[in-house]
Amino acid sequence: MTNEQQPPSSSQEEIETRLSEQAASLMEHVSKGDFGEALRVISDLNDTRDRTLYHEVGKLTRSLHEAIRNFNIDMGNVRMNQEEELSKIADASDRLSYVVDMTNKAANKTMDMVEASMPVAIEMKQEAHELKEAWGRLRRREMDPSEFRELYKRIDKFLVDLAANSDKVYTNLSEILLAQDFQDLTGQVINKVTGLVKEVEVNLVKLVAMAGKVDRITGIQHEMKAEEESITKGHGPQIQTEGRSDVVASQDDVDDLLSSLGF
């Protein structure tokens, strides 16, 4: 896109040759005392430097454009009716949101089922406990006939309930089992996104190399301020705790640390 600014003949070697020629002629004019001519050569030198700059900037702009295209984030070029041309990054964000949705649904589904099963288990446990007590009294012949008739009915009901409740718990457990299918689906999605991240990284490294070249040619220096890591801001889970002394590896480590602080 910067072709028009770039003299067609200014290849790198040519520029270098011209520079050394001009430098030599500058020396010559200065030693002869021909300062008028020397100044003209200096202005030529300037010209050559500018052309080199244009040439390099032109080359870099092209590579930059190429790199950005590789990123596929140029939403401006997307024809909205062609979904397959949607940016990969936007797609990756959608995919990750899908992972969050899926894990959220699975976690809630599992908890629904657990919460539905717990009272059933408690109810059965309680009834079994009471029946066992009554049964003990019966065996020790401490029960009168009216109590026995009551117990007889209760045991009958308990057995019916037991079958129904076991069924309910079993159904809930299989639903919990099924809810774990998110692992497969989200795993596939995450693997795809990981692939994209790697691809982006490669392109980003190229981009950084190019930006470094621009800085070298133009002599631009950046004042880089190291981002201060605030402690109040959370870091999220530590993925790799092994071999790191700044991170605790377990609850025991936390307890040790706190007790060393007088807790």
Give the footprint of another protein on this chain (CB under 8 A): 104, 107-108, 111, 114-115, 231-238, 241, 245-251, 254, 257-258, 261, 263
Q: Please state the closest distance from residue 159 (CB atom) to another protein, in A.
A: 28
Cα dist from 145 to 13, 103, 138, 185, whole Å: 115, 57, 10, 61
Classify 140 as helix, strand or coil.
coil
d(CA 260, CA 263): 7
**Pick from 169, 159, 171, 170: which is nearest to 127 by CA?**
159
Residue number with CB closer to another protein (46 or 104): 104
- Identity of the residue, 115 or 123, whose beta carbon is nearer to another protein in the bound complex: 115
CB of residue 257 to another protein, shortest distance in Å: 5
> Which CB, 110 or 165, lies closer to another protein?
110
Tallying the residues shown for the chain, one arrives at: 263
> Nearest approach, Cβ of 18 to another protein (angstroms)?
58
Tokens matching residue 155 = 């045991």
- Rank residues 12 and 241 by Cβ distance to another protein and give the closer one: 241
Work out the burial of residue 41: count CB atoms within 10 Å of its CB; fewer than 13 is exposed, 13-18 middle, 19 or more buried: buried
In the bound state with another protein, the residue whose beta carbon lies nearer, of 106 and 200, is 106
| Separation CA 1–CA 61 (nearest Å) | 8
Please say whether the beta carbons of 74 and 68 come within 8 A.
yes
To the nearest whole angstrom, how small is the minimum distance from the Cβ of residue 173 to another protein? 17
Which residue lies nearer to another protein by CB, 8 or 237?
237
CB of 247 to another protein, least distance (A): 5
CA distance 62 to 65: 5
* Shortest spacing between CB 133 and another protein, in angstroms: 24
Q: How many CB atoms lie within 10 A of CB 106?
A: 19
**Minimal distance in Å, beta carbon 263 to another protein?**
7
Comparison of 219 and 236: residue with beta carbon closer to another protein: 236
Cβ-based neighbour number of residue 172 at 10 Å:
19
Query: For residue 218, which of 56, 42, 61 has the smallest C-alpha distance?
Result: 56
